[in-house]
A and B are shown apart, each in its own frame.
Chain A
Amino acid sequence: MSEFQLAVPLLAAAAAILVTMTLALIRAMAGPTVFDRVLALNMFGTKTVLLICVVGFLIKRTDFLDLALLYSLMNFTGMVALLRYTRYGTFGDDGLDDAGAMQTGSVPTGSIQSSRFHSRCEG
């Protein structure tokens, strides 16, 4: 079996992964709530790991797999941050008021225009 035939499924998988990353970025920009954005970015990270693996096989440098392993560990760190988000609804401490209680009542959108950080910076 020729070299080209061995590379065809890897090329197809890399192209499909790139298309999926583009779609995930579209959702990360358009998502109405912050949960859509976090979901899309989580998916983007997973697809980054896959793309590194496939490209490493494609150019016959399998030491790229160490980088992919590092990226999957970073995804694990992101999941820990997500579990914090489950509790407080924010990645920082600006979801808590002065008494330490959680501010509730509105779904966070995560967009730059409406974030509390932005309004706090404006005054």
Chain B
Amino acid sequence: MQFAQEVLCWSCLIAGALFSMIGGIGIVRFPDFYSRLHGGGISDTAGAGLILLGLMIRAGFSLVAVKLGMILFFLMVVSPSSCHALAKSAMYWGVQPALDVARGRGKTVPRRATVQTEQRRGDDAGVPREPTGDVA
């Protein structure tokens, strides 16, 4: 029984550590902001969830497991909604994806490495734009 508990704890901790590191590599290596969101989301949900689950398995039925469950609950509520809010905010401010699918061939080509700043899409195009570089 205790052996099975330890094996489960080992597997959850190692899998969580792997997911966390994969998300960290993704947040550095991915080409644009929206794909970096994917790396951050993986690391915040799968990595954190598996590591906390492994610690809960090790703790057994106790107050420690309840505290770990509360931490897990808060992380599961906060990080996906903050990812969503960030994606919405970036879309609103006009950050363009750097990758685009080539027409007709389904092949991924890099369109532009930098952020396009001149245009903001959305339904509020009637708001007058003004340059913000030299606000005194």
Interface, chain A (partner B; CB < 8 A)? 1, 5-6, 9-10, 12-13, 15-17, 19-24, 26-27, 32-33, 35-36, 38-40, 42-43, 46-47, 49-50, 53-54, 57, 62, 65-66, 68-69, 72-73, 75-76, 78-79, 82-83, 85-86, 89, 101-108, 116, 119-120, 123
Q: Which of B20, B25, B86, B136 contacts A38 (CB 8 A)?
A: B86
Partner among B23, B55, B74 whose Cβ is within 8 Å of the Cβ of A57:
B55
Alpha-carbon distance between A68 and B90 when the two chains are bound, in angstroms? 29
CB pair B23 A13 closer than 8 Å:
no
Q: Does the CB pair A86–B52 fall under 8 Å?
A: no
- Complex Cα gap A19–B10 (Å): 19
Q: Is the pair B52, A53 in contact by a Cβ cutoff of 8 Å?
A: yes
Q: Are A86 and B88 in contact (CB under 8 A)?
A: yes
Contact (Cβ within 8 A) B23 A43: yes
Contact across chains for A119 and B135 when beta carbons are under 8 A apart: yes
* Closest CB in chain B relative to A2 CB, distance in Å: 11
When C-beta atoms are compared, the residue in chain A nearest to B79 turns out to be A46
With A43-B43, A46-B44, A105-B130 as known contacts, state yes or no: A35 contacts B95, CB within 8 Å: yes
Using Cβ atoms and an 8 Å threshold, which residues of chain B touch A69?
67, 70-71, 74
For residue B127, which residue of chain A has the nearest CB?
Answer: A104
Query: A9 contacts which chain B residues (CB < 8 A)?
Result: 9-10, 13-14, 54
- Taking a contact as CB atoms under 8 Å apart, the answer to whether A16 and B89 are in contact is no
The A-contacting residues of B in range 74-109, CB under 8 angstroms, are 74-75, 77-79, 81-83, 85-86, 88-90, 92-95
Q: Is the CB of A107 within 8 A of B14?
A: no
Report 26 cross-chain contacts, Cβ distance below 8 Å, ordered by A residue: A1-B2, A9-B10, A19-B21, A19-B24, A23-B27, A27-B28, A35-B89, A39-B33, A43-B24, A46-B75, A49-B48, A50-B52, A53-B55, A57-B58, A72-B75, A79-B81, A79-B82, A79-B85, A82-B85, A82-B86, A85-B85, A105-B120, A105-B132, A108-B93, A116-B132, A120-B136
